[in-house]
Amino acid sequence: MYTKIVKYISWALLLIGVVIGVLGFIIGFNTNDAVAVDTLLYWAYVMVGLAIASIIVVGIIVGAMTNPKGLVKTGIVVLVAAVIVAGAYFLAPGSEPVGYNGVPETYGWLKLTDTMLNLTYLSCVAAVLSVIVGAIVSAVRK
C-alpha cells in the first residue's frame, strides 16, 4: 500500500510540474511581470522542501522501525546539517548587490540569498574533495 501511495504522489507532483512548465511556455517567460518565472521558482521551492521533508521524515520512520539505535545517527546527521546551515547563515554578509538597479530587497532576503550561495560553494568544495579523496583511497587500496 505504501508503494502505491508514493507512486500516486510522484505522478501527481510530476503532472503538476508539467502543467506549470507548459503554462510558463504559454504565458511566456519574457513578460514584464515575470509571472511564469516566479511560478516556476516557487514550484521548485515547494519541490525542494518536500524532498527535504520526505527524506527526514521517511528516514526517521524507517529508522525507528528497522533500527531504533540508528535514530541516534540520524539525529547527529540532522544536527550537523543544521550547524552547517547556521554557520553559512552567520557568515553571510547580506550586503546589497553590486550593480543592481531594481527594487531594493530587504536585509533578510539578501541574507538568505547569501546563505544559499555559501551553501552552494560549500557543496561544490565538498563534492570536489570527495572525488579527489575517493580516487586516492581507491588507488591506495589497489
Tens digits of per-residue pLDDT, 62-98? 777 888 787 788 788 889 999 999 999 999 998 888 8
Say what the pLDDT of residue 78 is: 83
The answer to whether 76 touches 46, Cβ cutoff 8 Å, is: no
Q: What percent of the chain has pLDDT over 90?
A: 32
The residue among 46 and 31 whose pLDDT is bigger is 46
Q: In degrees, to the nearest 5, what angle opens at C-alpha 44 toward C-alphas 129 and 15?
A: 125
Name the grid cell of 3. Answer: 508503494
**Res. 59: pLDDT tops 90:** no
User: How many residues are given for the chain?
Assistant: 142
Name the grid cell of 14. Answer: 510530476
The residue among 73 and 134 whose pLDDT is bigger is 134
**Res. 1: pLDDT tops 90:** no
Helices in the chain by DSSP H: which ranges?
2-27, 35-66, 70-91, 107-141
pLDDT averaged over every residue in the chain: 84
Domain spans in the chain, listed from the N-terminal domain onward: 1-68, 70-142
The residue among 112 and 52 whose pLDDT is bigger is 112
Q: What percent of the chain has pLDDT over 70?
A: 92
Q: Rounded to an integer, what distance in angstroms lies between the CA atom of residue 23 and that of residue 45? A: 18
Say what the pLDDT of residue 125 is: 95
Q: Rounded to an integer, what distance in angstroms lies between the CA atom of residue 45 and that of residue 38? A: 10
Say what the pLDDT of residue 32 is: 57
| Mean pLDDT to the nearest integer, 106-129 | 92
